Amino acid sequence: MAAIRDFCRRCWRGLRGWHWLIQVAVVVGVLIGLTALGYWISDIYAFWDDAPDRGAAVVAGDVFGDFVKKDGIVYLDQGQDGQNWAPKDSLWFDNVAQGSDLVPYDFFLVLEQPDGSRIRSDANMNNRYRYLPRHATYNNPDALPIGLVKDFYDGRSFMGFTCAACHTGQINYRGTGIRIDGAPAMADMDAFLNDMSRDLSLAQKPGPVHDRFVRNVLALGHYKNEQDVDRDLSIYALRLLTYRIVNKSDTAYGYARLDAFGRIYNQVLQYVLNVPDIRSALDEAVADGKITADELENTGINALLESFEGKILNGADRDQLFQKLALLHPKQFFYLRNRIFIHPNAPVSYPFLWDIPQHDYVQWNGIAANSGLGPIGRNTGEVIGVFGTMDWSRSNHWTLAGYFSGQGLFNTSPIDFSSSVNIHNLGLIEHKLATLWSPKWPAKYFGSLDGKKVRLGEAIFARYCQGCHANIDRSAAGRRVVAHMSAQSNIGTDPQMAVNSVNYVGYSGILRNTYVDVGPGSLLLDKKAPVAALLTKAGRGVVATSGGGGKSWLRSFFEWLYDVIFSLRTNDIQGSMKNGDYHPDTTQAPFASVMSYKGRSLNGIWATAPYLHNGSVPTLYDLLLPAAPMPGDPADSKYRPKTFTLGSREFDPVKVGFMPTKVQGASDADPCPIVKPPAITCFVFRTEKLGNSNAGHEYGARDRTLPDGTVLKALTDPQRWALVEYLKSL
């Protein structure tokens, strides 16, 4: 024992010059340990909710004709073996906050629609917007529908969105409602946000609605007086009205779709705006004769811009700016909108989430790599799009975040990308989703599969489909999904989403003259730059920045350090080249590869209608039909429908998709009449609209010559049904 002590003393004396370093390492280790302990305790609380029914509720009298028995909601086995996706994980996914701050929480609880009902009522959330209802549980005491959550930032509570808002589906069949985690939602987020904007504006107007709104907010006890309520009401009514105008699209989204990228792009363009670029847009408007110099002077825009000179605009600054711009004539305002922002006119289906953490590239066009911190950056972009608070400012000293966000090693005034984005939860979401399995065909409810047809369909699939849609073991812990990218020019599906990703540019503002790695190298951001590059740069800046919301820098730094280490340690995906027949990125065309669409494994595909990336084909059977007639087609040929209705959750287990919506009073001439009260309508999908084409992906629908000269004949109708039967089994 004495010999051991003597040896330790000699070692310590030998390390005398390193004592300070050892002490620092110990302190850092202790702080990281305390951070991990704090997260462990908070995560225990987050997973505390363990209601066996997961809070599932049913709305009586569904206006779409759907019927679910009182206790008729069920969940499928998606890894619920006690180790993986258990009911408590599902509940956590529904409620986990990510930093989304849409409106003050109390506002959402009491906000009224024009008919006097509260927007948050189950009837409105289910019938109008198709968000899935829930009863109150431990972590959801106010019984918010799936995907809506009480989030906290800087000492305040907000209503925000969770991932489940777009990625939890329900399929109804003969009185049973089957909820599927990670499946596309039926939600109409566009209508929800537009109506929220309308209702906030109505609450602003003097009168009984305003008085009742203020009284109900004050009764909740978080606001001191009417003036404070009116101040926030003015702010959030303006913000949502601005969002509504900026993102106005000529292409209606409807149920189960959103141009998420287009709206994220516009949020980024708003956050990076600076005074020189605003002046540039105004100068162009004056030069084009759209606005006069006197009009700018009279609205006070010039004086406001002078007060902003040299600073990064914060939320309050942008509020003032849009208040002044709103004084212009609507045509002038829309002209400026078109100069500064992009058109989000490429709605796509909400992608399904099982196997996403196992992908090499994600998103419909493979724009996001999944290696390293890629998943955190991707999810950060999503939070930016769903009203994360961006408290960006200019630092007056060197910061580690400035270096990690690529602003230079010796930059003494880098941009501070502080925000409400919950990096910890984003990493945890991605880690937990790695245990989510795809849903298997529930024979208990839909009937058993025809084994003979399945075997025939499997052979057809191997010949016609497997080149792009590889089979995987849905439950294998080490499974990997290689995305097969097909150039849009080859696959022939609607190009709008991919075209927008490649072609949209915008003012780089505060990001100008910085570098971002894209395609084959680094891109120096000019006055105007590809919006995809701006999103990449902004997302990396947010991920590289610790803190926000009043936390101390020390706590913020160690939380950030822990989150980065956790995300890197739990992500096994490494950087790799894309697979498929896409056009490669070049220095001249750094985004050429995203002019493609992704083919992925099809396990669980039966639960993800409607089909194609833009949701333009209602059923799997329809997807195997030609898109449109061609010369020489037989007289009895069948084609994909040009129009169909969406809104109902009632399932068609034969064709595999949702049944046509049946709204009270519907007719062939008016399949989606407005029902009042409340104002409810289904949605007619029209494939002739921009972004809605149902063309392309006609593999098996027509004869196809392979590169080696082999001709794959068009499938017969019995072969189509056999293939559909096999796809149900995946």
pLDDT digits (tens, 9 = 90+) for 112-133: 999 999 999 999 999 899 999 9
Confidence (pLDDT) at 710: 83
pLDDT at 417 over 90: yes
pLDDT digits (tens, 9 = 90+) for 297-315: 999 999 999 999 989 999 9
Longest CA pairwise span in the chain (Å) = 99
For the whole model, what pTM was predicted?
0.93
Q: Around Cβ 300, how many Cβ atoms within 10 Å?
A: 13
Confidence (pLDDT) at 318: 94
pLDDT at 566 over 90: no
pLDDT digits (tens, 9 = 90+) for 164-217: 999 999 999 999 999 999 999 999 999 999 999 999 999 999 999 999 999 999
**d(C-alpha 151, C-alpha 161), whole Å:** 9
Q: Residue 66 is encoded by which pair of tokens? A: 């759907």
Which residue intervals of 247-327 are DSSP H helices? 260-272, 275-287, 293-299, 301-308, 315-325
Distances (CA, A) of 263 to 248, 374, 628: 10, 20, 31
pLDDT band at 694 (very low <50, low <70, confident <90, very high): very high
Considering only residues 2 and 358, tell me which one the structure prediction assigns the higher pLDDT. 358
Is omega for the bond preceding 678 within 30 degrees of 0, making it cis? yes
pLDDT band at 44 (very low <50, low <70, confident <90, very high): confident
Three-state secondary structure along 704-722? EECCCCCEECCCCHHHHHH
Q: Which residues contact 256 (CB under 8 A, 6 or more apart)?
A: 184, 185, 186, 187, 188, 349, 350, 610, 615, 646
pLDDT at 283 over 70: yes
pLDDT digits (tens, 9 = 90+) for 649-683: 999 999 999 998 876 677 777 777 766 545 556 78
pLDDT at 15 over 60: no
Q: Residue 343 is encoded by which pair of tokens? A: 């058109």
pLDDT at 61 over 80: no
pLDDT band at 13 (very low <50, low <70, confident <90, very high): low
Contact 390, 271 (CB under 8 A): yes
Contact 119, 195 (CB under 8 A): yes
Q: CA end-to-end span of the chain, whole Å?
A: 65
Mean pLDDT for the stretch of residues 246-252: 92
Confidence (pLDDT) at 314: 92
Confidence (pLDDT) at 37: 74
Q: Picking from 88-92, 141-145, 612-616, which range would have the lowest pLDDT averaged per residue?
A: 88-92
Confidence (pLDDT) at 679: 54
Q: Picking from 86-100, 268-282, 571-585, 673-687, which range would have the lowest pLDDT averaged per residue?
A: 673-687
**d(C-alpha 256, C-alpha 616), whole Å:** 11
Confidence (pLDDT) at 568: 86
Confidence (pLDDT) at 410: 86
Computed over every residue of the chain, the mean pLDDT equals: 90
Considering only residues 187 and 521, tell me which one the structure prediction assigns the higher pLDDT. 187
**d(C-alpha 650, C-alpha 193), whole Å:** 25
Contact 422, 97 (CB under 8 A): yes
Mean pLDDT for the stretch of residues 23-35: 69
pLDDT digits (tens, 9 = 90+) for 612-650: 999 999 999 999 999 999 998 888 899 999 999 999 999
pLDDT at 343 over 70: yes
Confidence (pLDDT) at 392: 92
pLDDT at 8 over 90: no
**d(C-alpha 209, C-alpha 194), whole Å:** 18
Three-state secondary structure along 95-120? HCCCCECCEEHHHHHHCECCCCCECC
pLDDT band at 18 (very low <50, low <70, confident <90, very high): low
Q: What 8-state DSSP symbol labels residue 124?
A: I
pLDDT at 14 over 80: no
**d(C-alpha 670, C-alpha 597), whole Å:** 34
Distances (CA, A) of 352 to 163, 182, 329, 348, 356: 11, 5, 42, 12, 8
* Three-class DSSP category at 38: helix
pLDDT band at 468 (very low <50, low <70, confident <90, very high): very high
* Three-class DSSP category at 75: strand
